[in-house]
């Protein structure tokens, strides 16, 4: 079968295309390269993969690329780390809203013509931004206050688009919510504004690569945002891709939503010390200083993963320790080569 993936050149998109190809799918990728620019991938020469440079806000282009596709994974979006939410608060809302509307317009048309089975939408754990009880269960996003960040609010809107397109036009859907993706390939974005963190200047990114960079660059004491007691569930990109494709395929996922995550909860302080020990060893004292947090730095984000396990048989199995053993060497090389 054939799958269209928008945002195919992105961080999660790279893992996703690799997983689809490994399962025998033909893949058409769409990306405007606005995040990283053109990026070489190991599968670029695979005859079952075609990458098209274009904008997912172009509904006619998305419609044309859906020709012959059984599935559509709608993954294109502006996305970044916590400081990204503030620097691009309007663009995150306006751009991502236009992307999802155009994606749905094209998908509704293709499905009406009998050319598309289902859309799998990539949402975000940020829909649970305002949660006050944990773990967050599927459905909680409709019971708790809406997210305060424009990014979280728009990701919740993605889920409303999915359900509205089904309610009015019968467009089948699955919603997946990745939690804190960790892996290799996340690099300096073209639009990133550099932010000073102690004696190290970083492009806006996510907590794992940012902390790894600071430790590798010798920052001591290590600067962290806020108290360090913020809790996250860090999930390997390969596990997330496996979960997304499983949700795309599985009949039990039809018109359902799933949290895709590890169940292992880790504080930022625990994460920072793990990275420190892997780089510096057991003898160097671990010291931190606390910088003021951003307003949208959610203190606790812990999902229930039971539904994905029960209905899809999916579990994220890669430990944080294993992730760091892969990410730290990649970031070291990326620093040396100027990629980040």
pLDDT in tens, the chain (340 residues): 999 999 999 999 999 999 999 999 999 999 999 877 888 899 999 999 999 999 999 999 999 999 999 999 999 999 877 777 778 899 999 999 999 999 999 999 999 999 999 999 999 999 999 999 999 999 999 999 999 999 999 999 999 999 999 999 999 999 999 999 999 987 766 666 667 777 776 665 688 999 999 999 999 999 998 999 999 999 999 999 999 999 999 999 999 999 999 999 999 999 999 999 999 999 999 999 999 887 778 899 999 999 999 999 999 999 999 999 999 999 999 889 877 7
User: 241 to each of 14, 73, 209, how far by Cα in Å?
Assistant: 9, 11, 19
Beta strands at 200-203 and 194-197: parallel, antiparallel or unpaired:
antiparallel
Under 8 Å between Cβ of 71 and 118: yes
Domain spanning 194-230+265-301+326-337: CATH 3.90.25.10: yes
Q: How far apart are CA 328 and CA 320, in angstroms?
A: 12
User: 17 to each of 101, 230, 251, 294, how far by Cα in Å?
Assistant: 23, 31, 21, 33
Domain spanning 2-184+234-262+303-317: CATH 3.40.50.720: yes
Domain boundaries, the chain: 2-184+234-262+303-317, 194-230+265-301+326-337
Q: Can you give the pTM of this predicted structure?
A: 0.95
């Amino acid at each position: 079968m054939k799958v269209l993936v928008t945002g195919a050149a992105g961080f999660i998109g790279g893992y996703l295309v690799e997983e689809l190809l490994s399962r025998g799918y033909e893949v058409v990728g769409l990306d405007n390269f606005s995040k990283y620019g053109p990026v070489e991938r190991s599968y670029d020469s695979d005859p079952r993969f075609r990458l098209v440079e274009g904008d997912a806000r172009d509904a006619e282009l998305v419609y044309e690329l859906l020709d012959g596709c059984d599935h559509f994974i709608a993954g294109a979006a502006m996305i970044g780390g916590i400081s990204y939410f503030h620097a691009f608060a309007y663009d995150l809302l306006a751009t991502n809203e236009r992307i999802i509307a155009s994606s749905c317009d094209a998908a509704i048309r293709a499905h009406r013509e009998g050319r598309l089975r289902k859309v799998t939408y990539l949402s975000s754990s940020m829909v649970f931004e305002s949660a006050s009880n944990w773990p967050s269960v599927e459905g909680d996003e409709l019971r708790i206050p809406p997210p305060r960040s424009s990014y979280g609010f728009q990701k919740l809107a993605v889920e409303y688009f999915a359900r509205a397109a089904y309610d009015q036009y019968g467009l089948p859907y699955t919603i997946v919510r990745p939690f804190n993706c960790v892996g290799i390939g996340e690099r300096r974005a073209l639009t990133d504004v550099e932010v000073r963190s102690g004696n190290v200047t970083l492009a806006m990114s996510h907590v794992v690569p940012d902390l790894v960079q600071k430790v590798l660059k010798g920052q001591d004491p290590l600067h962290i945002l806020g108290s360090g007691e913020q809790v996250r569930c860090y999930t390997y990109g390969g596990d997330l891709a496996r979960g997304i494709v499983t949700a795309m395929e599985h009949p039990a996922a039809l018109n359902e939503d799933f949290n895709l995550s590890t169940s292992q909860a880790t504080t930022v302080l625990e994460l920072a010390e793990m990275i420190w020990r892997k780089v510096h060893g057991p003898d160097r004292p671990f010291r931190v200083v606390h910088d003021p947090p951003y307003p949208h730095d959610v203190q606790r984000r812990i999902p229930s993963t039971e539904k994905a396990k029960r209905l899809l048989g999916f579990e994220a199995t890669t430990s944080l320790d294993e992730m760091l053993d892969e990410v730290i060497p990649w970031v070291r090389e990326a620093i040396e080569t100027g990629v980040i």
